[in-house]
């Protein structure tokens, strides 16, 4: 599995911590984000990664802004993206189990590096349950066609 990572300027520090964590675990990733000292608006940061996710170049995304919220709203505008802003482990696990989320959004001003890495692990390691949840995810895809 290849992870695409993106961040705006409020997420740079946390991104570097997450990259360190992924490297320690041997998880393959591509960094589409900005470096320390650079600036980008969170919708553009989301777009850079989401287009690679829907094209299949990467398998999951981790997106970081100040709150995790702006970048999740932007990411969810891209057809095929199911992004969830999480700051607790239950949500990070259940957004995989029930929503088949493909993008985890984190707030660099909300969660510390320890919790963020735990959320990343849950997001990457938890499998979608399918079954009745597949039907609901299909309804989301249908909405993308309707509106």
Q: Which residues are annotated as a binding site?
A: 8-9, 66-70, 99, 109, 132, 136
Catalytic-residue membership of 21: no
The count of chain residues that interact with ligand RB5, using the rule CB under 6 A, is: 8
65 carries an active-site annotation: yes
The reply on whether position 65 binds ligand RB5 by CB under 6 A is yes
**Binding-site sequence positions for D-ribulose 5-phosphate:** 8-9, 66-70, 99, 109, 132, 136
Q: For 108, which DSSP code?
A: T
Task: Give the burial class of 89: count Cβ atoms within 10 A of its Cβ; 0-12 exposed, 13-18 middle, 19 or more buried.
Answer: middle
Find the DSSP H helices in the chain. 12-25, 42-55, 69-75, 89-97, 113-125, 132-146
- Closer residue to ligand RB5 (CB): 66 or 113: 66
Angle at 134 between CA 94 and CA 99, to 5 degrees: 25
**Judged by CB under 6 A, does residue 43 bind ligand RB5?**
no
Which residues contact ligand RB5 (rule: CB under 6 A)? 8, 10, 42, 65-67, 69-70
């Amino acid at each position: 599995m290849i992870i695409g990572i993106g961040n705006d300027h409020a997420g740079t520090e946390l991104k570097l911590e997450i990259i360190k964590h992924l490297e320690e675990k041997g998880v393959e990733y591509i960094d589409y984000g900005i470096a320390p000292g650079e600036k980008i608006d969170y919708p553009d940061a989301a777009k850079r990664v989401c287009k690679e996710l829907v094209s299949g170049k990467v398998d999951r995304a981790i997106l970081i802004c100040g709150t995790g919220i702006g970048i999740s709203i932007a990411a969810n505008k891209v057809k095929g993206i199911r992004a969830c802003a999480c700051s607790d482990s239950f949500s990070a696990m259940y957004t995989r189990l029930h929503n088949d989320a493909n993008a985890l959004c984190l707030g660099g001003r909300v969660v510390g590096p320890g919790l963020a890495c735990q959320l990343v692990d849950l997001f990457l390691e938890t499998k979608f349950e399918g079954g009745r949840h597949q039907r609901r995810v299909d309804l989301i895809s249908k909405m993308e066609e309707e509106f």
